[in-house]
Amino acid sequence: MKDFTGKLAFITGGASGIGLGQAKRLTERGCRVVIADYSQEHLDAAMEYFRDKDVSVHAIRLDVTDRDGFAAAADETERVFGETPDLLFLTAGVNVFGPAEASTYGDFDWVLGVCLGGVINGLVTFVPRMIRKGKGGYIAGTASYGAFGPGPITAPYACAKSAVLNLMESYMMALKPYGIGVSCLCPANVNTNIYQAPIAGRPARYGRSGYNVNEKTQQAVAQVNSAGLDPLEVADWLLAAIEDEHFLVVPYEHGARMVELEYRRMPLYCSAEGMRKLEEMKKRPQTEEEKMLFDERERGGVFNGDMRATGFGKAAQDVDWVSDAQKPIY
Ligand SMILES: NC(=O)c1ccc[n+]([C@@H]2O[C@H](COP(=O)([O-])OP(=O)(O)OC[C@H]3O[C@@H](n4cnc5c(N)ncnc54)[C@H](O)[C@@H]3O)[C@@H](O)[C@H]2O)c1
């Protein structure tokens, strides 16, 4: 897609962070935008930002896990703008950190429900409408750099994001004949409000978490996020990929090489010798290239030992089977 002028975009999680960055950039490019978000507070703040701009933005309160709510949001979009969106950005997501073996059903249901279920619900709701509209279009799902690897302290998140990557790839192939392009956005660390999610954004129905989550641990995450990419820069990478019509968006100069290095573990997992080699590779000092790429990926936002001292990444106090003593910081 080369021209965004006059197009209509629907963005989940559009009231904060990466989604809001997408909304800002799309309005600057002449798009009309719907921002759909769970948080009324975020929606109000975002609408305040757009108030004195000469742009067309409509806010809808939506929990992406609510399928009826999604259909109602699509109907409302068509009522307000007289048409279904040309661009669908499925960006809403949440994350929480803790040892995989401490996870509760609630941790999995919440993170998978929002990060993967929210993308599925968006696709099932909007894809038939976009096809029927008959004007092509573009869909961008936000996964994460975490999609390329395991997550010993982000198991539900890594699982959801790798599934989103795979799902978007399937839709990329399936929707090509309809002229609907698909991209998947995979940033590492971005300066957003995602650190707030486990306390302010987790509905009570998901019950208790198996992870140690409190103001202190979330402030530590906030500090890491503050060293991340600017959401506007991330939006620029995505819009450039949509113009260029390429699938994978790893928003770093050497993104393609970073992905190549992440996936080299897979063939090594196929034998005991490979597994030993992988361990050796982890112990040995990184090559200059890897050091450079790792810095670029994290931009200083690494989860270091100081974070561990806050209780970050540990199990909840009543989880007595997790041995923190043996745990490295991942
Ligand atoms: N911040 C990072 O470092 C980073 C890195 C890689 C990927 N991501 C992904 O980027 C996406 C956007 O996250 P962000 O970092 O901008 O966080 P953010 O918290 O700033 O923005 C996410 C928005 O999604 C909304 N949201 C949460 N649950 C929702 C639900 N059930 N229904 C609808 N809206 C919901 C939140 O209210 C918030 O406004 C997520 O999918 C996240 O996993 C973030």
The model's pTM: 0.96
Domains and CATH numbers, the chain: 8-318 (3.40.50.720)
For residue range 141-163, list pLDDT tens digits in order.
999 999 999 999 999 999 999 99
What are the φ/ψ torsions at residue 31 (nearest 5 degrees)?
A: -85, 150
Mean pLDDT of 292-317: 74
Q: Is 142 in the pocket of ligand 1 (CB under 6 A)?
A: yes
Structure tokens that stand for 265 in this block? 């573990």
Residues linked to residue 141 through DSSP beta bridges, in sequence order: 90, 184
Q: What is the pLDDT of residue 291?
A: 74
Geometric angle at alpha carbon 65, from 63 and 70, rounded to 5°: 65
pLDDT confidence of residue 225: 93
Residue type, 22: Q
Distance 153 CA to ligand 1 centre (A): 18
Query: Does residue 108 have a pLDDT over 80?
Result: yes
- Average pLDDT in the 273-277 region? 94
pLDDT of residue 271: 98
| Higher pLDDT among residues 271 and 329, named by residue | 271
How remote is the CA of residue 91 from the centroid of ligand 1, in Å? 6
Is residue 229's pLDDT more than 50?
yes
- Top pLDDT among 327 and 176 is at 176
Q: Percent of the chain, pLDDT > 90? A: 86
pLDDT for 302 beyond 90 = no
Whether 218 is in the pocket of ligand 1, judged by its Cβ within 6 Å, is no
- pLDDT, position 173: 98
Q: How far apart are CA 103 and CA 302, in angstroms?
A: 23
Q: Would you please indicate which residues are annotated as catalytic (active-site) residues? A: 157
Share of the chain above pLDDT 70, in %: 94
CB 172 within 8 A of CB 182: yes
pLDDT score of 280: 86
Q: Give the residue among 8, 7, 9, 20 at the shortest CA–CA distance from 231.
A: 20
Instruction: Give residue-wise pLDDT tens across range 199-223.
Output: 999 999 999 999 999 999 999 999 9
pLDDT tens sequence across 279-293: 888 776 678 787 777
Q: What is the pLDDT of residue 285?
A: 60
Mutate to test the pocket of ligand 1, among 194, 232, 249, 258 (most ligand atoms within 8 A of CB): 194
32: nearest Cα among 91, 81, 95, 104: 81
The pLDDT mean for the chain works out to: 93
At residue 300, does pLDDT exceed 50?
no
Q: pLDDT, tens digit, for every residue of 163-209?
A: 999 999 999 999 999 999 999 999 999 999 999 999 999 999 999 99
Taking alpha carbons only, the member of 220, 140, 219 closest to residue 187 is: 140
